[in-house]
Structure 1
Amino acid sequence: MNSLAVDFVRRSGKFESSIAVALGTAKVVGSATTVLVRSKDFVVAMQAIADLGVTTAIDVHVDADAIVITYSTTAANYKVYVPTCTEQGVRSGKYFKQYMPNTVLAFEDYDDQAEGDFDPE
């Protein structure tokens, strides 16, 4: 049977717990690939799948730099990348770039009372 094995709680180079998730009749291509990911990255991706009403099959692709999980809901199509990491916890950056927020140099003064948008009653 095809399955996804998840090992966790790593101490002294060994995993203390393991769980296998059956993939049923899922199509498996290629050989088994072992990667390390930070649990706080993986758990968020799994929680999102559990919370959403997934309407399609869930595809899982693994390479040396990420676990890529693809699925759809009635609202959108999703492709979630979970970065792999080294034994020291350093994440791979191959599929990621640093987020740079847009900066605003100056804010416009806005008086909502003058616009008639504010009603204290």
Structure 2
Amino acid sequence: MSDWERVEGEVAAIVSARPDEYDAVTRENLAELLRLIKETRRPAPFLAPGYWPTFRIVWEVKGSENLEIEVFDDRYEVYRSFDGRTDIWYEHHRPGEPLSAPFLSELPDPT
């Protein structure tokens, strides 16, 4: 199984566990971000459900071990953990909107 097949399986499992809770806009925000990650040849992430009907994205690659992005219907929340503190900021986003340069710079480097 490829990394991207694993990602697809993780998404399917998350949605199927709470099928009535993940709205179409949140799922499209996730799909758009995953397409960007894949098309720009960045490492495949790992996915988990958020507390809300959201998706948590993490990486196990050098330089991004402390990065988490939570996908909502109207934003991506970016978390970076450093020595006991966490920096959090929002990238307001709806499907089809452009992403900011600061957001793109948070993503792991292409492989």
Q: Report the TM-score, using the length of structure 1 for normalisation.
A: 0.35
Q: Report the TM-score, using the length of structure 2 for normalisation.
A: 0.38
Higher percent of residues as strand = 1
Higher relative contact order (CA 8 A, sep 6+): 2
Higher percent of residues as helix = 2
